[in-house]
A and B are shown apart, each in its own frame.
Chain A
């Protein structure tokens, strides 16, 4: 009996690969190729205004330059500082908001919706809004302080190096605290009531119940929020660019404002890509850290009923 050979795409052992193929192709063109291309350019002296420089292989020169560049390391350190302060503030405020909203029985839905408003605005507009709030001449903050008699002169919010940093952190926190609040509120909703009551009977006061029962239960949710937000904050650009443009004198320069300036304003795309790779490694490090914490915290939650 003559067996007719089945064409290979109809053979069972190839089916999974065939079905996965579209996803592979899309990922390759959309993610992998650009990544490899930018990795390649980071080893060239590629300048946007001189396309032929794309073939100007310079080896590790870009990396050597940025690693020996004090400004880069300042921006790097400032990004970590910015991230640490913003994430912790957002966590604490978000936790507070979530705990308060969880207590409310009336109007909770409405409050939850209102709470999300800041997230609905474009970061650029949030930047402009706070640029106006903190403006030393016409800003409402200075006007309010003056009218209340709390200050007698114009405070240069966006010019002083500490105050400028404070101002952009304030804007970032204002916009994104609700991410924490929403995730933690979801955690509180999912929290079983019994262990709380057991703890009360076991002798805990309210603080101890929170500290020993509620908080450990919320930690996975905290780490999820931290993972999301650390990716978000590490690539902070729009608010900073609008409010201070990385100024004064580079004192609020974060990694991505620096990368954008190097790549687009100075047209040194090769070097910008080298920086971008370093910053991506930073993001990966943070994500990995929080994800490890998340897995550790979640390990126990199987028993929560």
Chain B
């Protein structure tokens, strides 16, 4: 129940710097998700907050206390690990109560808090089992229970769902969300799965190569990615990114076909600028099969290479100016490869990035 502040956090392993001066303010009771590909430094950052990794430079404070030199046990945080990290020789009850026992809480408090946590997570039936006798989902629930009994200042989650199968992962994701609504606490959650990030977070922190690329609400990050990395990382299927050149009021592609520069981006681009045109598959829809007809919609005619049926929608693979691109068909019908369709392009939702820097023209 505290804010967490990272100021210029740096982490070195020997001479190799893996986290390059991160700044982040996490508000009281906020659910923040650090997301990024493997090796982006997100887990390292979390472990520095937990105190499991030394901090090479900068400060971490929890509440008003700078915790750089405090061991994990003095930081009053709980952590849920990817491999659950249950104590194999203890029963579920002992696992849950262990932290309280170490903190020398009296027996009555321990029983009360353990039962409370077991109740929240539905562990009542399993209390006398050992971790070896639990399934993956149950183990993860015990790990979360162990985190909540201590009423910590903050929860840290390190990829807690990545060892679960797909169905269970979705189910546990919902449970974590519910848990946070019940047990209001600051949460820092690390994942490489952008869907988890989108669904769980109050705020998403997108990381890459030890830098923060963008911080924002899920909608903000989704709608206004600051660069091509964020644009391609958040959202599934990923945003189409096509190289183009600005000529006057037009975006001209490699095959000399062109689209008008979107109204909201005029004035942000200069004539002759090399850009990357970004368009989500949701905004490239066959005429009559979009979510809503777009206001300043442009139309293009494209050949279908492949179609993937998903039920409520179909992903259409096509090519624009020699580059593979994906569109979506809502309210789908069967589409045969080789078919030619006319597409609406929702230009008011299109993005333009500078080709050299990769940054959105809106932030330059």
Contact = CB atoms under 8 A, between A and B. Distances in A.
B87 A198 contact: yes
B73 A202 contact: yes
A202 B102 contact: yes
Nearest to B77: A201
Interface string A189-201: 0001011011111
Contacts, number: 92
Contacts of B82: 194
B85 A302 contact: no
Contacts of A201: 50-52, 72-73, 75, 77-79, 156
Given A201-B77, A202-B146, A204-B73, A212 B98 contact: yes
A297 B90 CA distance: 11
Contact of A202 (B51, B99, B130, B133): B99
A217 to B, nearest CB: 7
A198 B81 contact: yes
Interface string A125-157: 000000000000000000000000000000000
A300 B50 CA distance: 28
A216 interface: yes
B292 interface: no
A16 interface: no
Interface in B37-71: 50-52, 71
Contacts of A197: 50, 52, 72, 79, 81, 85
Interface in A198-239: 198-205, 208, 212-213, 216-217
B131 A200 contact: no
Kindly name the residue among A192, A200, A216 whose own CB sees the greatest number of chain B CB atoms within 10 A: A200
B98 to A, nearest CB: 6
Given A202-B146, A205-B71, A216-B89, A303 B98 contact: no
B79 A195 contact: no
Contacts of A194: 81-85
Chain A binding surface SS class: helix
A195 B85 contact: yes
A300 B88 contact: yes
A25 interface: no
A302 B89 CA distance: 9
B102 A213 contact: no
Given A200-B73, A201-B73, A205-B73, A301 B89 contact: yes
B77 to A, nearest CB: 6
Nearest to B47: A197
A304 interface: yes
Interface residues of A, number: 25
Nearest to B103: A203
Contact of A199 (B51, B87, B103): B87
Given A192-B83, A203-B99, A303 B71 contact: no
A217 B90 CA distance: 11
A212 B103 CA distance: 13
Contacts of A299: 130
Nearest to B86: A303
Kindly name the residue among B73, B81, B130, B150 whose own CB sees the greatest number of chain A CB atoms within 10 A: B73
Nearest to B130: A300
B132 interface: yes
B141 to A, nearest CB: 14
Contact of A303 (B52, B81, B131, B146): B131
Kindly name the residue among B75, B131, B150 whose own CB sees the greatest number of chain A CB atoms within 10 A: B131
Interface string A2-42: 00000000000000000000000000000000000000000
Contacts of A300: 88-90, 130-132
A31 B73 CA distance: 57
Contacts of A297: 89
A305 interface: yes
Contacts of B84: 194, 305
B341 interface: no
B348 to A, nearest CB: 47
19 contacts: A194-B81, A195-B85, A197-B50, A197-B52, A197-B81, A200-B52, A200-B71, A201-B78, A202-B98, A202-B146, A202-B150, A203-B102, A204-B102, A212-B87, A216-B87, A217-B88, A300-B132, A301-B132, A304-B88
